[in-house]
Structure formats: structure tokens, C-alpha cells
Amino acid sequence: MVQFDAEELLKIAELSALRLDEDEVQAFCEQLKILLEYIEELKEVTVTQGLEPTRNINVFREDKIVVTDSQPIINQAPVLDGTSIVVPKIID
């Protein structure tokens, strides 16, 4: 069984730049003890490998060039600058 006490918690709190009062130290110690006991129980579980591990496979499609006439879209813009659509500035 893993041993965990208030002294170790205070070391971790100091390294983490945390200030803990006595009530918090006591509460966190109890919670961490329960958590560590649970982890110890999980170590005892035997796992059989029934499935192959899933691998990330990227499937890329071939890029296709699609020629379109952009003029109908540009003609709908309220403000144009040559062939560019002018939009309101949103970043200062």
C-alpha cells in the first residue's frame, strides 16, 4: 500500500506554490489516500487483450481542381475593390 501523509502533501503544495490551511491539509490527505488505494486496486486487475489496438490512419483524398465562375458571387457584394470584396474591419 502506498503511504501518503501531510508532510508529503505540504511538500507538493510548496512546489506548486499553493497555500493550504490545516483543514485543507487534512481533507486533501484523506482524499489522496482514498485515490491512491483505488489505484492500487486497479493494479491488481488482469487485462486480456481481446482487440487489436486502434491505429490512426489518415485517409487523404486526391485534390481536384474545380473551375467555377466567381463573378455571380462577387456581383452580390455590397462593396467591391476591384475584384475583391470589402468587409468591415473587426480587429484594431
Whether 62 maps to a domain, the answer reads no
- Domain assignment present for 10: yes
Decide if 19 is inside a domain.
yes
Amino acid at 40: E
10 lies in which domain range? Answer: 6-43
Domain count within the chain: 1
Q: Is the pLDDT of residue 20 over 70?
A: yes
Do 9 and 21 contact (CB within 8 A), yes or no?
no
**Domain-embedded: residue 92:** no
Instruction: Find cell 511538500 and name the residue.
Output: 11
Each residue's pLDDT tens digit, 44-73: 888 777 777 777 777 888 889 999 898 888
Residue 68 lies in a domain: no
Provide the whole-model pTM: 0.46
The pLDDT, as a whole number, for residue 14 is 92
Residue 22 in any domain: the answer is: yes
